[in-house]
Amino acid sequence: MSRLGQLLKRALQQEGSPIGFPVGRRASSWPLVLLASVAQAKELEGALGLGAQAVVLVPEVAHTLREDLKGLQVPWGLVDPAPAKEDVEALKALGLDFIVFQPKEAEASVIFIEGVGLMAWPDTEVTDIELRLLAELPLEAVWSAPPPVPLTVAKQLSLRRLSTLCRLPLVIQLPPQADLLYLRCLMEAGVAGVVAPSLEELARLRDVIPSLPVHRRRGEHLKPLLPISSRAPAPQQEPEEESSLDVNVMVF
């Protein structure tokens, strides 16, 4: 599993703090993994300084930042609809951790790429059957474009459809000014990672995400408690034994 895959898995498995014992949450215990989209060397340095847990690049930028990517402390990866094997092999030597590809564009051999995590970016018209088949591929997550603001119930359900049928966490590109409630709605749909659209948004999200609640387990629902009667149950009466004195003896 890639380093990003491990972060996503950890985010979904976070436990809540005991009531009455608030705890300062480190980035490793956030309920959402915070990724930064980087286009140049200056942005890479800024993203790392602002606490990005992972970095996303396009191939052209990755090749430009070759020296800066060597020994990077956080996982970094590519968004490439159809990754070329030669590019992937060259970037793996620099520490490439994950690849986001589009099933309609990428060659089928992409699933045989070793040493990196794979994320699929399905088409918006993908069918239920295709999503279930994606679950059979060696994927670590599903990538999605920015949902509209405000997030409608219909759009939230479409995101939940992705995560449920693929049985994988979602990584979402965020629109600007995504607030706390918007992020909570994304979490309810199975989102485990979010990509900040700018360094300004990265700084803001760094302060928002730690205050989010942990993910609910799949199938977890509130169960009603039935009232219990305060009266003690009446003691059971033991059956009376027949007395031998009640037997009438007739003397002839």
Question: At 189, which CATH number?
Answer: 3.20.20.70
Which residue type sits at 185?
C
For residue 229, what pLDDT is reported? 43
Examine residue 239 and state whether it is found in any structural domain, yes or no: no
Examine residue 76 and state whether it is found in any structural domain, yes or no: yes
The tens-digit pLDDT sequence of the chain (252 residues) is 999 999 999 998 865 444 333 444 455 578 999 999 998 888 999 999 999 999 999 999 998 898 889 889 999 999 999 999 888 999 999 999 999 999 999 999 999 999 999 999 999 899 999 999 999 999 999 999 988 889 999 999 999 999 999 999 999 999 998 999 999 999 999 999 999 999 999 999 999 999 898 766 555 544 444 444 444 455 555 555 554 444 454 444
Examine residue 231 and state whether it is found in any structural domain, yes or no: no
Examine residue 252 and state whether it is found in any structural domain, yes or no: no
The encoded tokens of residue 252 equal 């002839």
Q: How would DSSP label each residue in 63-99?
A: HHTHHHHTT-SS-EEEE-SS--HHHHHHHHTTT--EE
Examine residue 19 and state whether it is found in any structural domain, yes or no: no
Residue bearing tokens 């609640």: 213
SS3 at position 208: helix
Find, among 74, 68, 25, the residue nearest to 51 by Cα. 74
Q: What gap in Å lies between CA 86 and CA 120, rounded to an integer?
A: 20
Find, among 173, 200, 154, 246, the residue nearest to 46 by Cα. 200
Contact 143, 120 (CB under 8 A): yes
Examine residue 25 and state whether it is found in any structural domain, yes or no: no
State the total domains in the chain: 1
Paired residues of 120 in beta bridges: 101, 142
> Domain range holding 128?
7-12+30-212
For residue 214, what pLDDT is reported? 79
